[in-house]
Structure 1
């Protein structure tokens, strides 16, 4: 995968040179032609001037080519984790099913690396399809032996307890007291090769969206846990978030993907079968943005393939911004999605 990162970097550089030469012979345009709203600018895959996990323009002279991979931290998502720390710094969040019908969060960090984040929890086989498309590294408390082997075999690096940055928070009880300093993890993950991952989603603008149905509320039900959202003042507010006040994830869009769920092949300490989200193939998709929902389908050829979205009329893009992805089991597996005006 490192070779892939270098190829992306070379391609991006050649693209930038080509655009520069074309600009010399083209019409003059002012630097302000895109407007002042950073979300008005769509990204193209591999564009070094946009962030791969949000599609937003890079600001302040920074670069989307970093000397660390995308860091994906497994975050507990139960009342016992309250308050979650560091969620507001994530570029993107994926909510996935774990045993007992509850969920865990995969929080993606790349453009903004915070300090303390947690509580940190364990890996699942489902994480391979979630993390592999951007050649990400996992930040977790560990995992079942077979799961760790499968993740290693997929070429995904793991930073777990004992790695740089990890510590136990004295005011909390185990296992909800494991935290890490993400800045230290990012430093440890540096490999001396700056590169930009591919885009996690097909980015576009709000103007690219087809007409949808009114949907100011939605609930993604995983079985024993449901996450509810309300569209307020231009963003989606998680009504049952465990994040610390002021540290909630600011979702510009919520993308619901209906997924098949298999059996990971082992049980948790309580004897519950551990599910495995099968994040490849295809399924139904619902993109919630601006108080509306657009219906479509998703597809991924392989676990490490980029996600593609379509409607009956063609390709579907996601407006650049912060996105929360709900990987909800199909109806036969006990999942459901409801929304209202």
Structure 2
């Protein structure tokens, strides 16, 4: 039937051309077809697609998002962890207080997944407010009370015994647990693309601020220091392997309240819990300058919002290290 329809149309076209040729007056040729319209077609006038952005850096993305969810890996941050492996590939890092005034890192991976990451250490209740919705945590485990709370918050986690989590034979326990994130990511599937972790913007959006080329975040027994060099921030007391340091474009310091997690570690220290909700003071370091502001977060799963006295504060797109410094018993210093 379709072939017959094409044949009939062809016959009609031929007949119309014959009539047009005979219709010329005084032997003149029939006028040529009118010039095509200069008005754009629907396809030419259609709007270009909206750009897509990486949720953990705010940078523009080309192509489709990864199939795996955000993977947050808990990494030891004491001298015993040296050298840390895989931090250079992280999209974003959050440093949080643990027992004894030391810190632990939550390294976020989404746009890029390294072959290995470690040393992998345990979760804390603080992570409930740090880990974004839909993410999976790679960890060495946690205390029973913490596991109960993490499970209650609906956060999936992977630990020793799962494929891709292994002991590095050249290191001593408990600093020898590592994870092959590339292998792990292939087994995970995200239900939907994650939302932006921070309110992203551009350097042009920032207030002028004050000069600040060095800063130190003091947690008690541990301090993390940064210097502005070559357009970014260098962690001058990092435990990362050489060439595998986190390349921070900005350092965001948020002053947080800290409570008691309700148990003690094996050494007898009370375990603190960062209350990453509510509001507090914020310091955004970018481009060798510092902008003072405030942060707010509606509940543990709420979005992080930043502001100055003049209005909303955004973080320039790029890689960010977030320091969750205790408002009490913690300190932040910086200098020109």
TM-score for both structures, normalised by structure 1:
0.84
Q: Against the structure 1 CA distance between its residues 102 and 24, is the aligned structure 2 distance closer, same or farther, given a 3 Å change threshold?
A: same
Structure 1 residue 48, shift from structure 2 partner: 6.7
Q: Is 2:328 the partner of 1:340?
A: no
Task: Decide whether the 8 Å contact of 2:51 with 2:60 is kept in 1.
Answer: no
Unaligned 5+ residue runs, structure 1? 1-20, 32-46
Segments of 4+ moved more than 6 angstroms: none
Q: Which residue of 2 aligns with 1:83?
A: 83
Aligned pair partner of 1:50 in 50, 53, 67: 53
Q: Map Cα deviations across residues 120-179 of structure 1 (whole Å, 9 max, x no partner).
A: 000100000000x34211110000011011111111001111112011101000000000
Q: Which residue of 2 aligns with 1:318?
A: 315
Structure 1 residue 278, shift from structure 2 partner: 0.1
Following the alignment from structure 1 to structure 2, what is the Cα–Cα distance between the partners of residues 161 and 184?
14
Q: Is 2:223 the partner of 1:226?
A: yes
Q: Against the structure 1 CA distance between its residues 252 and 23, is the aligned structure 2 distance closer, same or farther, given a 3 Å change threshold?
A: farther
Following the alignment from structure 1 to structure 2, what is the Cα–Cα distance between the partners of residues 79 and 22?
60
- For residues 1-341 of structure 1, the aligned pairs below 5 Å read 24=45, 49-59=52-62, 62-64=63-65, 66-131=66-131, 133-190=132-189, 193=191, 195-330=192-327, 332=328, 334-341=329-336
Task: Decide whether the 8 Å contact of 1:48 with 1:196 is kept in 2.
Answer: no
Structure 1 residue 188, shift from structure 2 partner: 2.3
Q: Which residue of 2 aligns with 1:34?
A: none
Following the alignment from structure 1 to structure 2, what is the Cα–Cα distance between the partners of residues 163 and 222?
33
Q: Which residue of 1 aligns with 2:37?
A: none
Task: Decide whether the 8 Å contact of 1:222 with 1:336 is kept in 2.
Answer: yes
Secondary structure of the residue that 1:248 maps to in structure 2? coil
Q: Map Cα deviations across residues 7-32 of structure 1 (whole Å, 9 max, x no partner).
A: xxxxxxxxxxxxxx999367xx9x9x
Following the alignment from structure 1 to structure 2, what is the Cα–Cα distance between the partners of residues 25 and 189?
36
Unaligned 5+ residue runs, structure 2? 1-41
Structure 1 residue 277, shift from structure 2 partner: 0.1
Following the alignment from structure 2 to structure 1, what is the Cα–Cα distance between the partners of residues 160 and 179?
9
Following the alignment from structure 2 to structure 1, what is the Cα–Cα distance between the partners of residues 214 and 204?
21
Structure with max Cα Rg? 2
Q: What CA RMSD, in Å, does the superposition of the two structures yield over aligned residues?
A: 1.7
Q: Map Cα deviations across residues 37-84 of structure 1 (whole Å, 9 max, x no partner).
A: xxxxxxxxxx7711000000114xx323x3211100000001000000
How many residues end up aligned between the 2 structures? 295
Secondary structure of the residue that 1:161 maps to in structure 2? coil
Secondary structure of the residue that 2:148 maps to in structure 1? helix
Structure 1 residue 184, shift from structure 2 partner: 1.6
